[in-house]
A and B are shown apart, each in its own frame.
Chain A
Amino acid sequence: MLYVAWQGIQRIVMLETILAQKKKAIVGKWLELIADSYPAGSEFFVDKDQFTNPVGYILSSEIEILYDEFLHDQIDSERAIISLEEIIRSRAVQDRTPGESVNFVFLLKDVIRNELKSQAKNKEFAAELAKLEGRIDNLACQAFNVYTGCRERINQIRINEIKRDRDNANRLLERFARKYGDQTVEVAGGYDRSEVTE
């Protein structure tokens, strides 16, 4: 029993080692697939300057970090969450459904399977690979949490804007009331002179 478990661990370590060695190719292909989901395609990712193409820069650098966290089984780590936030913040305001905003995580499965074609033929390896893919599923759950957080933030910002407009008006209304006594004044579209007389 112990021996079987030990063999399983060994296979996972071996898979992780292979995946670490193939990191550059895997992350590169992952980025390529993600790029395809942008209407402008991969041209959008040619410029990876941090400031003149923030989306290109963030995606290129953060998926690499995410990949490392995935390899080290750290998909719950603070750093992984930050990476997801960085990536999803822009996707949450683009023309995407919730699913389309987070599905980039699942693309990693395709890339890895493709890279590990030869190993995956081996039944035992295939079982361990499925375990590794479980990490990706968990990462997708985290991604959905982050996406929801972004949408909630947008709604809160919208509420704050409306509140601020109301507060601007109320601030003046209160001062009008202090100056002229407690009379009703209409804010929208200007003040009605007949109602605000000394």
Chain B
Amino acid sequence: MSDEVTSREELLKTIDYVPAQQDLYKPNLEFRPGTWNYPANPKKMEHLELPYPREWSPPDLDWKLPENWKEIILKGMEERLNRYRSLRVYLDICVRCGACADKCHFYLGSGDPKNMPVARTELMRSVYRRYFTVGGKLLGGAAGGRELTEDVLKEWFYYYYQCTECRRCSVFCPYGIDTCEITMMGRELLNLVGLNINWIVEPLSNCFRTGNHLGIQPHAFADTIEFAVEDVEDVTGIKVDAPMNRKGAEILFVVPSADYFAEPHWYTFLGYLMLFHELGLDYTLSTYASEGGNFGLFHSAEMMKRLNNKIYAEAERLGVKWILGGECGHMWRVIHQYMDTINGPADFLEVPKSPITGTVFENAKATKMTHIAEFTADLIKNNKLKLDPSRNDQWKITYHDSCNPARAMGLLEEPRYIINNVANNFYEMPENTIREKTFCCGSGSGLGTDENLEMRLRGGLPRGNAVKYVKDRYGVNILTCMCAIDKATLPAVCDYWAGDVAVGGIHELVGNALIMKDEQKPRTVDVRGDPLPSVEGSEEGDE
């Protein structure tokens, strides 16, 4: 089709090989409403003892920076260059081949060249050259160096809070440069002079006070779990047990807090409870480790360590053998890539072993924490579950590989295996938009706020576009995923780019399909409380 419009050769002739019209070294300082997040509430910063809490706003001329802000940033850079060899390597070795350039969803959605991962890194790399390389110190701009000015700092804020740390670009980098880590460093440095966003700092503060990002206190947590138990009873007629803070349980089960608070996460939570009841699993929830997510990852290594530690401290206190984790995204990046070195070894725990199938999850040897998709896929593989896929016939399903489970831990097959066993109608999105090449929801890493909606929609374009394709082609009506942020923010992306497509979780589908021994009556509704398409067929078990 495209050839009919303009041939590649013809188009190439039209290309001006002079670098893009926008001067990449000139800071972009336009803060349009809808494209940035509100700064952190100073009170929440004080809770966490973060430096320089104050009232300020990005469109303001004066960001009320501390007087010696430049010294603080440069000292912070030096410390990090010495601490993380990867940072120095990433800043040194890029040859600007451009492989990453068109891989970022924000670039594809905005056409803004500074959203090319290579250019976003260049925002920091130019400062690194100027102050930390001989060439840059001597030759300045001629060696690609750039003075660190307030405008440069403002631009860092704009673009480092415009990267969702999804790591799609790093899949394509021939040198393996992880641009996400540049963003992480950029945010750490900004934090040093009190430039943070509230959607990250407030959840962190909440987590410290109450155990979870949403600020739900232990008694309210207990109540919401009780409500979930009631909802399971409404659907199945079975009153399941949901143990809490139980010492001596075999497994500690940790979920993102949205699972027991928000929709559509709630339905996935019901699915977990139904599954564990059916298995007779010896597990416990915890009011202290009531958050699987870790917004510390989006803030600083220190904060990530502090939050992650809670889960393991609780596992030790309760005396469990191992930890099972729910459908969360970045939680798994922290567990899989950082936990062992920041808080490990978790040698007071045992290597996870399914009490139902006997399978030992060797891949979790270091962290002692297994993803529920691995756990459930293993149950299905060993014929331990009775399933009726027709109870999901109301859905034509596609699956969005949530960035972190897919790219940070390689969890690609298990969710698909589960969906194919619990449902009849599964349709993949195009190959270059799924698995390790999956496109981000555009709202990860703490950017999922309503004030940032336009930017999120830009970032969500490639994902929404692929959803629209399967919707138009196969009539897909639900996008499933394994991340709490996805579940919260993909409804907006689907609404704008694809139209009417629901969002749900994998264990919501498991809950629907699961045939439970104690069920006295045929099920008439799904876990959302909507009537099942074929009530007659729902009793006929089909493994």
Contact = CB atoms under 8 A, between A and B. Distances in A.
Interface of A is mostly: helix
Contacts of A90: 109, 458, 461
A198 B215 CA distance: 20
Contacts of B12: 46
B408 to A, nearest CB: 22
A144 interface: no
Contacts of B466: 51
B495 A55 contact: no
A45 interface: yes
Interface stretch (B218-226, B235-243, B270-278, B523-531): B218-226
Contact of B496 (A52, A89, A95, A176): A89
A31 B14 CA distance: 11
B132 interface: no
Interface string A36-48: 0011111111111
A154 to B, nearest CB: 7
Interface string A16-54: 000000001001100110010011111111111111111
Interface in A150-198: 153-154, 157-158, 160-162, 164-165, 167-168, 171-172, 175-176, 179, 188-191, 193, 196
B462 A154 contact: no
Given A24-B6, A46-B12, A191-B219, A157 B1 contact: no
Nearest to A32: B14
By size class, the interface of chain B is 35 or more
Interface stretch (A56-64, A113-121, A130-138): A56-64
B5 A95 contact: no
A190 B458 contact: no
Nearest to B462: A54
Interface of B is mostly: helix
A188 B465 CA distance: 35
B206 A190 contact: yes
B5 A28 contact: yes
Contacts of A168: 261-263
Contacts, number: 160
A191 B111 contact: no
A45 B12 CA distance: 10
Nearest to B260: A172
Contacts of B491: 160-161, 164
B432 interface: yes
A28 B109 contact: no
Contact of B454 (A93, A162, A189): A93
A40 B113 contact: yes
Contacts of A179: 223
A95 B112 contact: yes
Contacts of A45: 11
B429 to A, nearest CB: 8
Contacts of A42: 11, 14-16
A148 interface: no
Nearest to B6: A28
Contacts of A172: 220, 223-224, 227, 261
B295 to A, nearest CB: 16
Given A40-B116, A55-B109, A154-B453, 11 more contacts: A28-B10, A39-B113, A42-B11, A43-B15, A46-B12, A51-B433, A51-B465, A89-B496, A157-B495, A161-B492, A172-B227
Interface of A: 24, 27-28, 31-32, 35, 38-55, 57, 60-61, 63-64, 89-90, 93-95, 153-154, 157-158, 160-162, 164-165, 167-168, 171-172, 175-176, 179, 188-191, 193, 196
